[in-house]
Homo-oligomer: A and B are copies of this chain.
Amino acid sequence: MSDQPSAPVPGLPDRPVVTAGIVVFDGVTLLDVIGPHTAFALAGMNVQLVAETLTPISTDTSIRLPPDVTIERCPQDLDIVCVPGGSVGDAMLDIKLRDFLRARAATARYVTSVCSGALILAAAGLLDGYRAATHWASRDLLAALGVEVSTKRVCMDRNRITGGGITAGIDFGLAVVGEVLGREVAEFVQLGMEYNPKPPFNTGSPETAGADLTALFTTVTKPIFQPMADATAQVLARRVAR
């Protein structure tokens, strides 16, 4: 944490500046990034998008995301490391990224993920012995990596804070703000984001969506999840080989 004093939210008690590094990689799900980013930024955190190079990152949408800083130049003293999800197969096998995550996780106050970003943390060994949440469709892969899977929307286990799929990044972002900067700041941010959800349908989880829709989703998205399953198998094979 920086020594620089500042009030992240004017009108609320002074707090130290908190620095959050959100790791981005080709194939990242944009809303996994923007949900937490918005909550963190409204709370006055210094938020950096960290990537291997400064080349704009391809996302699940047509929007490319310009990183703020490379992993070489990323601040050493991140308070929060945050790994969003998406098509994470390549990122799970990326040695440079995994080394970076392990190095920052050793000193960070919180090691966190949203959605299938938990698979990247798990591939780096950073969820060994922890409970963690992930996108519902990634739960089997997270379990295969030896992690105790939580079905909670936000799972806190010591300094690991992990969120469920995509939109869970908003609940996650508010929960992290509450944990790091206090409930008062988080409540202010929630009011600003008008997070008073009223989903127009009731299919936000496999339990409420039912077996047929869940099976359809799993079939349709197999091309997205297969590379993540393959990466999981490779991670496990290397562990056995060690």
Q: Which chain A residues have a beta carbon within 8 Å of chain B's beta carbons?
A: 9-12, 29-31, 34-35, 37-38, 41, 47, 49, 56, 60-66, 68, 115, 135-136, 153-154, 164-168, 170-171, 174-175, 178, 183, 186-188, 190-201, 203-206, 208-209, 213-214, 216-217, 219-221
Contacts and interface: CB of A to CB of B under 8 A. Distances in A.
Given A153-B198, A175-B200, A188-B220, 20 more contacts: A11-B216, A12-B216, A38-B60, A49-B63, A154-B200, A165-B193, A166-B195, A167-B196, A170-B170, A170-B197, A174-B200, A187-B209, A190-B199, A190-B201, A191-B204, A191-B217, A192-B217, A192-B221, A196-B199, A196-B208
Nearest to A179: B200
A44 B194 CA distance: 27
Contacts of A35: 31
Given A37-B61, A65-B63, A220-B11, A194 B168 contact: yes
* Max count, chain B CB within 10 A of own CB: residue among A65, A199, A213: A199
Contacts of A170: 167, 170, 197
Contacts of A217: 188, 191-192
A32 to B, nearest CB: 10
A59 to B, nearest CB: 9
A56 B9 CA distance: 27
A213 B198 contact: no
A104 B44 CA distance: 38
Contacts of A29: 38
Contact of A167 (B178, B193, B205, B220): B193
A44 to B, nearest CB: 11
